[in-house]
Amino acid sequence: MESTDDISYVNQQEAIEIDQMLMGPLGFTVDQLMELAGLSVASAIGEVYSSSEYTRVLVICGPGNNGGNGLVAARHLHHFGYKPSICYPKRNTEPPFAGLVTQLESLSVPFLPVEDLPVQLSSDFEIIVDAIFGFSFHGNPRPPFDSLIRRLVSIKNQQRTHEKAAVIISVDVPSGWHVVEGDICGEGIEPDMLVSLTAPKLCAKMFCGLHHFLGGRFVPRSIIDKFKLKLPPYPGTSMCVRIGNFPETNSSAQKGIFTASVNLEVEENPIDQFHKWLGDASEAGVKEPHYMVLSTAGKDAKPSSRMVSLEGVNKDGFVWHTNYRSRKAREISENPHASLLFYWGPIKCQVRVEGFVEQVSDEESERYFSSLPLDIQIRPIVSKQSTLIHGREILHHQYKEFKEKYHDRTSIARPKHWGGYRLIPEFFEFWQGEESQVLLKFRYCVEEIDGRRVWTIHRLVPQFAESASSL
Ligand SMILES: Cc1cc2nc3c(=O)[nH]c(=O)nc-3n(C[C@H](O)[C@H](O)[C@H](O)COP(=O)(O)O)c2cc1C
């Protein structure tokens, strides 16, 4: 067992012994350990990749216990609001695996045969979970896992050429890596996130991705003492803890965009540009990059701002959901012009979007509402946004009442006063810099030409704040 200043890394033999001890004298069962591992993986994913941006998840499950961890993670991800699909080509039909498959089937989580996977996995999925091989694996991967691993390797090449690419999350050990020596040939998977389980394996020292987490909050004192483990404390009630350095780096900076001699590498379309920075923010560890400030002003022209959550963005605009009886809704009905503001600290970026707001169609609101878990669906029924209430306990009481009333339901009807709005953008400003230095600033303005919306980019050269203040 090796240890840096504050964390231990275990070799393959130690990992096997820890497992044997857990499932022997310490009384754990394999399905318990799988539950804890899968929950840790899903929690770590939830910490970094929001379900609204990274909705579609492919979980590739191997034939052994790491495959089981993947099945459990998929079930939790489903309940966390993601849309998992599973590729489980060499199924273990014994318990607890068979039970996990049944549970997922009952949730209508699709199982995809290898031949039905798209050629480019990134075209159908935002996240790929590599739960193929764990710490007990050795030797060379056999079909079909060898070719699946090659497909994961090619995703990294897509990322290098700035194509839209899925992120890869490896469970415990990146599949194909040597448990101790890591990616020996330098041609293996390069995951964006690694979730080590119980204690990191030695190969994790070679992990170069942005997000390294540890999961498995159950290790008893006797194991810690016997193996002289140094493990970090878990925050609050969390099932995972970030280890390794929190990414301070700006991934756009790594691509050479925001260097001192700023390269104004901007997209022609502001929505593509927005997606690029949103992805950078997420990769850099911004926890909720889709939270935004929405500012509105009614007929009295007095502006009001509040946070809302961006549910989706595409060429048609920016969508969020809210109560149609709220202050913002009243102000939008009086004056449909609004502004959105995003600020992503770790990459020092700010984006302003201004435009015209309309309600989304009932069908769209319906679709979104029905995708929400029951707990969230109840909220707009109970909450009367922006009205005075006589005590918190009344709300809690009503919430409890509704929960009991609907306890046997998986979904309820959308209240008519709750739905989506879409801001159709007319102006964007992208800003990157620090308080004292603006490194990059550019704007997009829209013009209507022959019935088409055409964007013009105004590139504003980098300037120091004193002289840039007028930009
Ligand atoms: C991080 C964060 C996200 C929020 N997301 C939403 C949202 O998506 N929809 C919403 O109606 N309220 C959301 N709220 C609550 C709003 O900020 C606000 O309090 C509420 O919508 C009432 O606003 P109004 O009285 O100005 O209409 C969010 C609050 C926070 C702090």
Q: Which atom of ligand 1 is nearest to the CA of 322?
A: 11
What is the pLDDT at residue 395?
A: 64
DSSP 119: S
User: Under 8 Å CB-to-CB from 108, ≥6 apart: which residues?
Assistant: none
DSSP 76: H
Measure 153 CA to ligand 1 centroid, in angstroms.
41
18's tokens:
């820890």
User: Taking the domain 2-246, which CATH number applies?
Assistant: 3.40.50.10260
What is the pLDDT at residue 209?
A: 85
Pocket of ligand 1 contains residue 218 by CB under 6 Å: no
* Distance separating alpha carbons of residues 176 and 302, to the nearest angstrom: 60
pLDDT digits (tens, 9 = 90+) for 381-396: 766 665 555 556 666 7
Pick from 50, 306, 383 the residue to mutate for probing ligand 1's pocket: most ligand atoms within 8 Å of its CB.
Answer: 306
For atom 7 of ligand 1, the residue with the nearest CA is 308
pLDDT digits (tens, 9 = 90+) for 93-118: 999 999 999 999 999 999 999 999 99
Phi and psi (nearest 5°) for 58?
-105, 120
Indicate the domain borders of the chain.
2-246, 252-468
Question: Is pTM beyond 0.85 here?
Answer: no
Pocket of ligand 1 contains residue 320 by CB under 6 Å: yes
Pocket of ligand 1 contains residue 307 by CB under 6 Å: yes
Mark the binding-site residues for (6S)-NADPHX, compressed into ranges. Answer: 65-69, 134-140, 172
Q: Which atom of ligand 1 is nearest to the CA of 386?
A: 25
Pick from 307, 330, 334 the residue to mutate for probing ligand 1's pocket: most ligand atoms within 8 Å of its CB.
Answer: 307
Pocket of ligand 1 contains residue 385 by CB under 6 Å: yes
72's tokens:
């459990």
Q: For the range 108-117, what are the long-range contacts, defined as Cβ-Cβ under 8 Å and sequence gap of 24 or more?
A: 109/74, 109/75, 109/78, 109/84, 109/85, 110/85, 110/86, 111/85, 111/86, 111/87, 112/58, 112/85, 112/86, 112/87, 113/87, 113/89, 114/87, 114/89, 114/144, 114/147, 114/148, 117/58, 117/87, 117/151
User: Under 8 Å CB-to-CB from 18, ≥6 apart: which residues?
Assistant: 10, 198, 199, 223, 227
Pick from 291, 322, 333, 395 the residue to mutate for probing ligand 1's pocket: most ligand atoms within 8 Å of its CB.
Answer: 322
Task: Kindly give the parts of the chain with pLDDT less than 50.
Answer: 2-4, 246-264, 461, 463-471
Mark the binding-site residues, compressed into ranges. Answer: 65-69, 130, 134-140, 172, 175
Q: For the range 277-280, what are the long-range contacts, defined as Cβ-Cβ under 8 Å and sequence gap of 24 or more?
A: 277/252, 277/344, 277/347, 277/349, 277/351, 277/430, 278/53, 278/313, 278/342, 280/250, 280/251, 280/252, 280/344, 280/347, 280/349
What is the pLDDT at residue 377?
A: 84
Pocket of ligand 1 contains residue 325 by CB under 6 Å: no
Q: Which atom of ligand 1 is nearest to the CA of 296?
A: 26
Fold assignment, 252-468 = Pnp Oxidase; Chain A (2.30.110)
